[in-house]
Amino acid sequence: MTEKAHILQVERLTIATGKDQGEVRLVNRISFCLSEGEITVLAGPTGAGKTLTARAILALIHNTSLVVSGKILYHQNDCLSMSPEDMNRLRGREIAYMPQDALAGFNPVIRIGKQILETVLLDRSIGKIEGKKHVLSLIEEVGLAPPERFYNAFPSQVSGGELQRLMWVMSIARNPKLLVLDEPTSALDPASKQQLLQLIRDRVQSQGTTVLIITHDIRHLAPLADTLMIMERGVIVDNGTISYLKQHAKSNITQELFEAMHLPTNSPQNAMEGEPARPSTPVLSVKHLQVGHYDEKGKLIIIINNFSFKLYAGQCLGISGPSGAGKSTLALGIARLADFVGGQVFLEGKDILKMEGKGLRMHRKKIQMIWQNPASALHPKHTIRQILLEALALQPKEGARMDLESLLRMTQLPEELLMRRPHELSGGQQQRVCIAAALALKPKVLICDEPVSALDTVTQLHILKLLQSLQHELGLALIFISHDEDTVRFMTANVMNIKSEGGDGL
C-alpha cells in the first residue's frame, strides 16, 4: 500500500507566554503530520494544550500575550509566516475550524441561515438563491427539520446540540480540504452524536477530506481515528492506532483515559444502598410543570408540558433526553429562571411559583445550579478567593456558617488556586469552583445541567464522584441532567427521560 501524502506538517510547534510574564510553555515543541483523507484524533485531559494547537493551525492565536514558534506547513506553505490576507483566503475554503463553543461561533443578533449563507457566498461562483438551497440541504442532512425553521432562527432559539450541528454545517459549507473539529460532539445526545460521526466518516470517504478532531471524549471518538495522539501538559506523549496504544501506551494518562472509557452503571440496588433513608416529606415536589418562552411576536411556546416528580433529601434524580428536548429549559423552570413557568414547584412545602420579592430571593438560595460551561459562570476578572467570598457573603443566616476552608475541603480544591483567575484554571478546576460557590449558599437542591460534558473522561469521573460524595455527606437532593446516558446511569438508577420538545417528562 502506498503511503498517503501529508496535507499538513507541524514541526516543533511551541506556544508560550511572553518573557515579561515569565515564559511558560503551554505547547512544547510538538511535531506531527496529517495524511490526506485520514482522521486523526488529538485527545488528552483538560488543559493539555489541544485547543491551542488547533487554533494555531488556523493562525487564530493573535492579539494575545502568547508567543507562537515552529512551523505549520499546509501543502508546504507555512501558515505561521503567511500574511493575514493570505490566511483569510485559506480559512473556510481550504481549512475550516469548528469551535467547541458553538454559541460563541455565531453572531447572536443575525439569523443562523444568513450567517451560513454569507460563508457560502464568499465563493463568487454561486448566487444567493442557489446558495440558500445549498444551505437548506446541508441543514436537512444533519437531521434538523424543517430546515427553514433553523435557517430563520436566531442562535438563542435552538438548543446547544442543535447549534453544534449547525456549526458543522457552517464548517463544511465551502467544502474544505482540511477540517479541524474542536470537541464536535460534547453538546450532542447519543443519537445526534452517532449521526455526526457518520457524517464525518461519509465526508472522508466521499470527498477525501482530512479531519483533525480535538477531544477529551475518547470513549466515542477514538474508534473513529486512523491515528490517535494523546497530549498532556503541552506534549504529545503517545501516538499510534487505538489498538496499538491499548497494548503499548507509554504514558500513565493514556492508560487512565482508556480505563475511564467505561463508566459503571448505578443499579437500583446500589442506588438504594448508597442513599440515606428516605424522609417522609420530599424536599422538592414538582406538579404538572409547564415551562416555555415567548417568541418575537409574543406567542407563548411551551417546551415542557405536564412534568411531575418528587425528590427527597440525599436522593439523585437523573434527567436524560435528546438535544432540543427541553432538559435545560426544565432546569430553568424549576429554578424559576424561565420566561414562563406554570404548575406548582413546592420547595420544603412552599410553592415558589407564588412567591415574589424577598421571599423568592430567600428560597432561590435553596436551589442552586451547576452549569455546563463553568468558564462562562465565573467572573473572568475576579480571583477564585473573591468569587467564593462573594458567594459566602450571601449564605443564609440561620444554621451553621460555611467558611472558605470548608468549601475547599469539600470540593478538593488546593489553596494555591485561590489567587488565580478562572482562565488560569483547567476545566475540571473551574467546575469545582462553581460547585463550591453553589455550596456556599447551603442549598437543599443542586441542579447539575450537563456538568461534565466539557471535561475529559478522567476529570469527568472525578467530578461525578465528588457530586456523589457531596450528595451523601450533605444530604443534598441532586437533579442530574445530561444527554449522555452513561453518566446519568453512573449517578443514579432513578432516571426520567424527556422524549421530545413540548411533550411530557415520562
The sign of the torsion formed by the CA atoms of 113, 119, 123, 124 equals positive
Q: What is the pLDDT of residue 71?
A: 95
Cβ–Cβ < 8 Å for 186, 480: no
Same fold, 6-259 and 268-275+314-325+354-497: yes
Q: What is the pLDDT of residue 92?
A: 84
- Residue boundaries of the structural domains of the chain: 6-259, 268-275+314-325+354-497
Q: What is the pLDDT of residue 500?
A: 55
What are the strands, taking DSSP E only, across 44-193?
Answer: 66-74, 77-78, 95-98, 178-182
The sign of the torsion formed by the CA atoms of 59, 62, 64, 66 equals positive
In CATH terms, the superfamily for domain 6-259 is P-loop containing nucleotide triphosphate hydrolases (3.40.50.300)
Q: What is the pLDDT of residue 21?
A: 54
> Which residue, among 56, 63, 467, 416, has the nearest Cα to 231 in the 3D structure?
56
Q: What is the pLDDT of residue 268?
A: 47
Q: What is the pLDDT of residue 456?
A: 78
356-363 long-range Cβ contacts below 8 angstroms, 24+ apart: 360/336, 362/396
**Would you identify the CATH topology of the domain 268-275+314-325+354-497?**
Rossmann fold (3.40.50)
The pLDDT tens digits along the chain (506 residues) read 556 789 999 999 999 986 655 678 989 999 999 999 999 999 988 778 998 899 999 988 865 678 899 999 999 999 999 998 999 889 888 999 998 778 778 999 999 999 999 999 987 788 999 999 999 999 998 889 899 999 999 998 888 778 889 999 999 999 999 999 998 887 777 877 888 889 899 999 999 999 999 988 787 888 889 999 999 999 999 999 998 998 889 999 898 888 877 766 665 444 444 555 566 799 999 999 999 988 778 889 899 999 999 999 999 999 998 877 889 899 999 999 988 889 999 999 999 999 998 888 888 899 999 988 788 889 999 999 999 999 999 988 776 778 999 999 999 899 989 998 888 887 788 999 999 999 999 999 999 998 988 787 788 888 999 999 999 999 999 999 998 888 899 999 999 988 754 444 43
pTM summary value: 0.75
Q: What is the pLDDT of residue 195?
A: 84
